[in-house]
A and B are shown apart, each in its own frame.
Chain A
Amino acid sequence: MTNVGYSSHETLSTTGLVESAPLLEMNNISKRFPGVLALDDVSFNLKAGEVHVLFGENGAGKSTMISMIAGVYQPTEGTVVFQGKETHLQSVHHARSLGISAVFQEFSLVEQLTVEQNLFLGNEQMSYGFLSRKAAHAEAKRMLDDLGFPLKPGQKVAYLSRAEQQMVEIAKAFRSDLSVLILDEPTASLTERETDRLFELVEQVKAQGVGIVYITHRMAEIKRIADRITVLRDGCFIDTVDAKTATEDQLVSLMTGRSIDQIFPKINFTPGREILSIHNLSTADERVKDVSIHVRRGEIVGVAGLVGAGKSKLLRSCFGLENITEGSIVFDDEDVTGYSTREMLDRGFFYNPPDRRNEGLVMIRSCRENISLPSLHLPAFQKAEILKRRSEAKTTQEIAAALQLHPLKIERVVDHFSGGNQQKVLLSKCLTRDVKLYVFDEPTVGVDVGTRVEIYKFIAKLCEQGAAVVVVSSDLPEVLHLSHRLYVMQRGKLQAELSGDEITQENVLRNFFDKEAA
């Protein structure tokens, strides 16, 4: 491994002081956004040569914290001390000039440009006032080779897979004069091998005295690379613990403020008639290959797998959203293979998409309009083609009240609600019509613990009332604790079917990854 040149004067001098002075101190930081206090008096420090994990649920304030370290936002209150000096990080550019680099979950890549153009964006290689394309190409190639990423510098970013784009993003951050590296769930779309490679790099820069702020939800990663862990909850500092002594249960209860059995309800399963059976299904894009599953009334069936395992595609193909090449789908004793969304809705199949902003809700319209949208053709909402707006308002108000929408204002634009309440609006949509099978795809993405508990109760109630429920989720505890039966998918194939006592974390994880690779 050739030297990528991280060793600036500062990092060299601080390596001697690892135990005494922190590299970066965030003291009593508060950050207020219009109407929201995202961080409330949080202190956090980073030593040179350590991996410091920020741990917490979505909305706990982790992203806000790293955004301030990276110079994206400025704190409303509190001070930042960098290498012993109080510093105002005015911009991303300023932070980068101090050696602070971030890899965010949301990529900062320009898709129309090539890999090398992206790597040097804002920091172009110049000669005599013109772009020096040859030098940029050579430098990009050297950087990628050093990192061990199999990317071509001349390729357009738009044509890369998500994992490859992630690599470009990481390569952008791993540059010379690095002192603080921020990684926000960098492994979310990487394969095992790429993850191993990333961790090697992290170890390497760590040895050179770089401080690393690392955000992850994965316990295995924390065990593997963390030195210290700071837990945030609802914008507040909870604790900083030593990674060597912290246990998983301890971390979960610090993160959520509750123990596991307070989060998940007890559900009485009374499995009845089979309502959905998928036989040897394959899709045109080959993301689902030869999968067969079945679902009965009165049970919750979990579908687990890594991102991209095809678990979401499997259910989407039953809802008219994917091209099916082989296999058949039987719903309520009727062959519904290849039916459209509308036809499936009318038969009582409801699919709740994972991305509420992108697919689930019309963010700029009111709650009322969103909740009633799938059902406007029903007699409850219209008569002779004229909408019954009063009855619509009444019905949606009742549904919103039952789900404890806060604030309970159905005329308010969805965008103005918090993430948790937006999720409630999304879930409300399935309550306006008769549904026999509910599919919830990542039902608790980006919601706080309180809402999470309410959503689980809501799902449990639907099931106990005799409906069939499918929960598709990448959140392992969620599928482990809710499912009556659990299917595990991997790379488009069904890997295992677990039920009862077989549903354990070990059994699921074993089926997450390639057996050959393990």
Chain B
Amino acid sequence: MSVKSNSEQGAISPMRTPLYFLKMMFVRLGVLPFLLFIAVIVFTMTSDNFLTGRNLLNVVRQSSYLTLVAVGQMFALLTGGFDLSVGTIIALTSVVGATAMAAASAAMPDSIGLAITIGVLAGLAAGAIIGSINGIGVAMLGVSPFMMTLGMSSVGFGVALYMTGGTPVYGMPVQFADIFGFGHLFGMPAPVFVGIILILTLYIVLNWTRLGRYFYAVGGNIKAAGLSGINTRLTLFLAYLFCGLVASISGILLTARLDTGEANIGTSMPLESIAACVIAGVSLRGGIGRLENVVLGALFIGLVQNGMNLARIESYLQIVVIGALLIIAVIADQARLRVMANMQD
């Protein structure tokens, strides 16, 4: 990197001090590696149990739900919008999926596999419907993503509460929780396995298909994308559909873990998923962001929550820390742009 800035425009030779390399790293990688580093140091000092394989695996499992939502959120952010309804999508998925599954298993107690399938599909359909409505509003009707998804989060939450009267939905087959909530697939906790498969798929979509490229182009400059023959409306629509579907999958996994359908889960997801993306360097203006970093960003938030739990920090205070981290990440990103302008390349 330093060689590059040297050869170009014959700039004044940068000093190769450790500080320079730190700056270079900051510009290249953003604030996340620094935050991760600090977090690991601090929590290792405050708790002996933090830096153990068992605990770290626990962090990964606990973070898998947020990771999925954050990865979905990234699609909306890439196109220059965001999705505030991811929490509602999880809640509605949970309620609809659990209700359908309970009804199906009550109607045909012998075919549990079918009942689980019906429940999962019903939950995913609920998520896809919210995502599609978001997509139609943003892409076809030109509603701002803020209003569209905020409105839908109220609509979805209301529907979920109305369906359940605010009480949890019971009656799902035990196998559902056993497999998807607490079970292991190929030696991994089920949610981690599902997460890895999904992340790999979405990684390929983003980096190796036309559609992935179009998300970046539409977010970077929607007019230029349109003049290059891209169907910008369809691209926007698909971003919200993807976001809704991925959040919905997270909702299914969370329902399995809780073993009940709940209308009150996922409320912290909009903030946390956007925080994970922003900490990972996804631009709020669209067009910039890497999926692997978003995964790291979500894991970082899980790590901080876990570390705070081990250090016995009260859960209400933890909410304060997450909000503060988000703001620090945005400030750091601004600082990064300034450092970048000074360094030129």
Contact = CB atoms under 8 A, between A and B. Distances in A.
B229 A386 contact: no
B210 interface: yes
A373 B225 contact: yes
B213 A369 contact: yes
Contact of B216 (A346, A365, A416): A365
Contacts of B220: 362-365
A350 to B, nearest CB: 10
B209 A387 contact: yes
B231 A342 contact: yes
Nearest to B285: A364
A361 B221 contact: yes
Interface string A352-368: 01000011111111000
A326 B231 CA distance: 26
A432 to B, nearest CB: 10
Given A364-B220, A429-B228, A376 B341 contact: no
B184 interface: no
A362 B342 contact: no
Contacts of A358: 221, 223
Interface string A399-437: 000000001000000001000000000000100000000
Interface in B301-345: 341-342, 344-345
Nearest to A385: B209
Contacts of B230: 342, 373
Contacts of A374: 228-229
A143 to B, nearest CB: 37
Interface residues of A, number: 32
A500 interface: no
- Main secondary structure on B side of the interface with A: helix
Contact of B227 (A34, A351, A385, A389): A351
B324 to A, nearest CB: 28
- Main secondary structure on A side of the interface with B: mixed
Among B209, B216, B220, B283, residue most surrounded by chain A Cβ atoms (within 10 Å): B220
A364 B287 contact: yes
Interface of B: 8-9, 11, 204, 207-210, 213-214, 216-217, 220-221, 223-231, 283, 287-288, 341-342, 344-345
A369 B217 contact: yes
Interface of A: 34-35, 319, 321, 341-342, 345-346, 351, 353, 358-365, 369-370, 373-374, 376-377, 382, 385-387, 389, 407, 416, 429
A35 B227 contact: no
Given A365-B287, A389-B208, A376 B221 contact: no
Given A359-B223, A385-B210, A35 B228 contact: no
Contacts of B213: 369, 373, 376, 387
B225 to A, nearest CB: 7
A486 B223 CA distance: 29
A363 B221 contact: yes
A66 B223 CA distance: 32
Contacts of A361: 221, 224
A386 B209 contact: yes
Contacts of B210: 376-377, 382, 385, 387
Given A351-B227, A373-B225, A387-B210, 18 more contacts: A34-B342, A35-B344, A319-B227, A345-B229, A353-B223, A361-B221, A362-B217, A362-B220, A362-B221, A362-B287, A364-B288, A365-B220, A365-B287, A376-B210, A377-B210, A382-B209, A382-B210, A429-B228
A148 B195 CA distance: 69
